[in-house]
Chain A
Amino acid sequence: KAGVTQTPRYLIKTRGQQVTLSCSPISGHRSVSWYQQTPGQGLQFLFEYFSETQRNKGNFPGRFSGRQFSNSRSEMNVSTLELGDSALYLCASSSTTHSFTDTQYFGPGTRLTVL
């Protein structure tokens, strides 16, 4: 079974630009969560999508948005990039509706650098 894939793996943008990251979950998984990791910080929860609906949202500004398609693939968009958005962005997929006990399977991440 193929794992979670994320594209692109590396990205360099400049301040003010916008960026879209993509995540393809494990086949059959309907939940996709996004996390940000910056140096010295634990993984910070951005949002979770389940069956094309945002189910939960973390404490991030509105510049961070996401969506999920009918095939469960998810995209995350960051508009008006700031230097502080430089981070590793991970997505994770899980299979059922009981999200707090489901095992999450992580992708390899997208390393975003904002110059």
Chain B
Amino acid sequence: ILNVEQSPQSLHVQEGDSTNFTCSFPSSNFYALHWYRWETAKSPEALFVMTLNGDEKKKGRISATLNTKEGYSYLYIKGSQPEDSATYLCAPNTGNQFYFGTGTSLTVIP
């Protein structure tokens, strides 16, 4: 069992603010890390797949970085919008299964 921690657990920001969350995981047996966005009443939606130490991915206003040596990944949202309100999940994969964190719940206040 892999212990995956996400912080903060929840976050309220004003529209236009930039924000970031952390995903921490044991650095051994690491194969890949996935980030998902899960909006209420919808299915989790893949954001990024990251595999290499130092990886940086970007999709519009959302970006992510990966440090496999120290076992963490950051997700950044620049200029948050109300439609960014969702729970953001990270899931490292050890080669045979994903281990999901409990997520960071983001609420963007208009």
Residues of chain A having any CB pair with chain B under 8 Å? 3-4, 33, 35, 40-45, 48, 55-56, 58-59, 90, 92, 99-109
Kindly state whether residue B95 has any CB partner on chain A within 8 Å: yes
Total A-B contacts with CB atoms under 8 angstroms apart: 61
Closest to A92 in B: B44
Excluding A43-B44, A103-B46, A104-B46, 17 further A-B contacts by CB distance (< 8 Å) are: A41-B102, A42-B99, A42-B103, A45-B97, A45-B98, A45-B99, A48-B97, A56-B97, A100-B94, A100-B95, A101-B31, A101-B93, A102-B49, A104-B34, A104-B98, A106-B36, A109-B43
Question: In the complex the two chains form, what is the Cα distance from A105 to B96 in whole Å?
Answer: 17
What is the interface of chain B mostly: helix, strand, loop, or mixed?
A: loop
List the interface of chain B (C-beta within 8 A of A).
1, 4, 31-32, 34, 36, 42-46, 49, 51, 89, 91, 93-103
